[in-house]
Amino acid sequence: MKKKAVIFILNILVSVMTLAAPKYVFMFIGDGLGAAQRQIAEYYMTDVEGGEGKLLMNRFPVAGINTTHSLNTLVTDSAAAGTALATGHKTNNGMISMLPSGEKVESIAQYAGRSGMKTGLVTATRLTHATPAVFASTNVSRGNENEIADDFVKSGIDFFAGGGYRNFIPQEAKGSKRKDSRDLGREFKREGYKVFMGENSVGDFMDLKARGDQKVFAALTSSHMPYEVDRVNSRDHLPSLADMTRKGIEVLSQGEKGFFMMVEAGRIDHAAHANDAASVIHDTLALDRAVGEAYEFYKRYPEETLIVVVGDHETGGMGLGYGKNYFLKLEALKDVRASVDDVLQRKYDGNRKAYFEFIGREMGLGDLSAEERASIVKAMDIEDSGDYNSALFGDYTPTSVATAHVLAKRSNTMFTTYAHTGTQIPLSAVGRGAEKFSGFIDNTEIAETMIEMVR
């Protein structure tokens, strides 16, 4: 009698645990997404674009705050932070799902795949960049992107979408970064993937009709996908982060046992590195629209879906306020039509007249004050000399940095660094099991909880 009672209780417990686990799990990672990045995007949306209310990610009912330090430093990089978020393990900066001892650790995606769930990785960066890499690869260094690409072929991930085809094409192909003649696109096809490689494949990718157990590999640009501000002001017709997320949902939702999808808005980080306030805003808004695609899915399956939105670290030391001012003037950024990193720093070639015409037309700086113009001219003098300490300008040109800082000062936003910071970052969540992510927790605890949910 007692044995039957124990078995009955155990069956109830198993049923409850199964019921509590979400079938569909979304993990959105804003690379470099700290509190300031989330908040400035919301202010811009409401005060400049005329939107109402909060960002969708800021309306989710569960909120938390996370620590981000790596194993060997209080200021993490994306590899160590990604490893923590993907596997629940701290490691040294630069390492991809590997501990300093050399031990390889498994990711949420790998646990989910073994349990029969479909898995997907979507990113606005190269697919081989640190954050997506930690979910499908292990390596001693994030810089070994060709080796990371090799791992992807046998990873079992069902859906890849992002940039970076240069690490998947043979060295003989134009633009390749490989050191061998392996054609990973062909290898993916042999593994049963529908492959979309390069800008010319975008139309076919967007027209793809999801069917059954379809697997997809899409590397649509040579390096990163464009900043959102550049994407919307170009004629390239490249998909947005929301477009790729929607396509991923279409493909992965064909599986009977649910799915795990990681979506990274990686260019928020790049924009903040470049002290580019406008691009921080537009790429954060692009992330929120991608979250919206998942939320539409959640509304169809609210009892079975979990959405978590988090950053891996803060970038730039972004401050909302400057000097003695107690206000923001974000309308100063509304006419910016180009990024600092991908566009502006390639524009100055010694032709000062052409540069000033460009920033007047594309950066909303046609009315420079004498002081603002002088700061840019001084930077041009430094750049023309070729003799300057690059540490003072990060990885950017003096002229582009000076221009970015004019825009930041006009809007009363400022940055303390071209690197990452150690500040805590916000998390928000909605859906089945969302309450488990609330409170003041470490980034490793996010992964630990998700792994328990999907295994």
Phi and psi for 64 in degrees, rounded to 5?
Answer: -150, 175
Nearest Cα to Cα of residue 95 among 82, 108, 109, 106: 82
- The label of the residue with tokens 């198993």 reads 14
Q: Which residues participate in the annotated binding site? A: 31, 129, 131, 264, 269, 273, 312-313, 420
CB 188 within 8 A of CB 153: yes
Q: One-letter amino acid identity for 175?
A: G
Instruction: Calculate ∠ Cα 30-290-343, nearest 5°.
Output: 65
What residues are designated binding site for Mg(2+)? 31, 129, 131, 264
> Are the C-beta atoms of 100 and 91 separated by less than 8 Å?
yes
**Strands 319-320, 193-197: pairing kind:** unpaired
Element (H, E) at 229: helix 228-232
Q: Would you say 218 and 162 are in contact if contact means Cβ atoms under 8 Å apart?
A: yes
Binding-site residue positions for Zn(2+): 31, 269, 273, 312-313, 420
C-alpha torsion 243→245→248→253, nearest 10: -120
Contact in structure between 266 and 163 (CB atoms under 8 Å): no
Give the catalytic positions in this structure. 78
CB atoms within 10 A of CB 65: 14
8-state DSSP, 172: T
Planar angle of CA 189, 129, 446, nearest 5 degrees: 105
Residue type, 265: A
DSSP string computed for 330-366: GGGGTT--S-TTTTGGGT-SS-HHHHHHHHHHHSS-T
Strand pairing of 439-442 and 62-67? Answer: parallel
**Nearest to residue 24, comparing CAs of 353, 235, 215, 299?**
299
